[in-house]
Chain A
C-alpha cells in the first residue's frame, strides 16, 4: 500500500526563524511529489518535484527531492506570520490517476 509520512505533525516557531518540513514516501512506481499550503480553506499548490537534487524555489520557500532516500524537504526561511498553515505533501504514481497525501504539518509562526 502506498504511504506518505510527514514530520513533524506540528511545529511552533518565532517569526524570522527558518523551518524544515519533511516528507517521506513508500510508493510503487513513483512519478512526482507535490507540496501544498492550506490556510483556512482549500489547499493551494506550491511545488511539484520529479527529479532528484533539483531545488525548486519560490521566494522564501524552497524544496528538494531525494529519490534514492525517498524523501523531500520544504524549507521556509525568514518565516512570517502569514506562513502559518498546514503544509501537505502528496505523491503521484505511474498509471494511477490520484494523489496520496501525508497527514500534513501544522506550522504556527508566532510574532
Chain B
C-alpha cells in the first residue's frame, strides 16, 4: 500500500449522533480527499484539502465538515448522522507535479451504517 489508512473500517451508529472518520497518510502528499460511494452514483466528492488548514467543499458537502491540522491527517465529521449518510467512505491522496495531477491513491474505505 502507498501509506494511506482509514479508521474505523466499519461503523454502525445511531441517527443524530456525531461520527468522525480518520484518514492518515505517510506519503507527505499535499492533497487529501473524502469521497462517498453509493450504488448508481460512483464516487462523489465531499470535501478536499490542499494543505494544513486549507480545505474546500465538494459536490455533496452538506452535513459534513472536515479538518486538517497536520499534513498526515484528514478528518471527516458527520455532526449529526442521518440514514442518508449510510455509505462507503473513501479517502484519497494525490500529488501534483507542476499543474499535472497524476491520479489518486485510495484508502481501503470505511463502511458506515446509520440506523
Binary per-residue interface labels of chain A (91-111) against chain B in the complex, 1 for a CB within 8 Å, 0 otherwise: 010110111111110000000
| Given A88-B42, A103-B41; A97-B107 close (CB under 8 Å) | no
**What's the tally of chain B residues with a CB closer than 8 Å to chain A?**
26
| Given A9-B40, A104-B42; A99-B101 close (CB under 8 Å) | yes
Across the A-B interface, the 9 shortest Cβ-Cβ residue pairs = A42-B106, A101-B43, A103-B42, A101-B42, A41-B108, A104-B42, A92-B101, A34-B103, A42-B108
Asked if A31 is an interface residue, CB under 8 A from chain B, the answer is yes
Binary per-residue interface labels of chain B (9-44) against chain A in the complex, 1 for a CB within 8 Å, 0 otherwise: 000000000000000000000010101000011111
**Contact indicator A94/B99 (Cβ below 8 Å):** yes
Bound CA span A102–B96, Å: 22
Asked if B48 is an interface residue, CB under 8 A from chain A, the answer is yes
**Contact indicator B42/A98 (Cβ below 8 Å):** no
**Contact indicator B109/A98 (Cβ below 8 Å):** no
List of B residues within 8 angstroms of A101 by Cβ: 35, 42-44
**Contact indicator B50/A103 (Cβ below 8 Å):** no
- Determine which of A41, A43, A90, A98 lies in contact with B48 in the assembled complex, contact meaning CB atoms within 8 Å: A98
Asked if B3 is an interface residue, CB under 8 A from chain A, the answer is no
When C-beta atoms are compared, the residue in chain A nearest to B90 turns out to be: A42
- Give me 9 other A-B pairs in contact (C-beta within 8 A), A90-B43, A92-B101, A99-B104 excluded: A31-B100, A42-B90, A42-B106, A45-B104, A88-B42, A97-B94, A97-B96, A98-B58, A101-B42
When C-beta atoms are compared, the residue in chain B nearest to A100 turns out to be: B45
**Docked complex: B72-115 residues within 8 A CB-CB of A:** 90, 94, 96, 99-109
Bound CA span A4–B42, Å: 10
How near does chain B come to A68, taking the closest CB pair, in angstroms? 22
List of B residues within 8 angstroms of A43 by Cβ: 43, 90, 104, 106
How near does chain A come to B46, taking the closest CB pair, in angstroms? 11
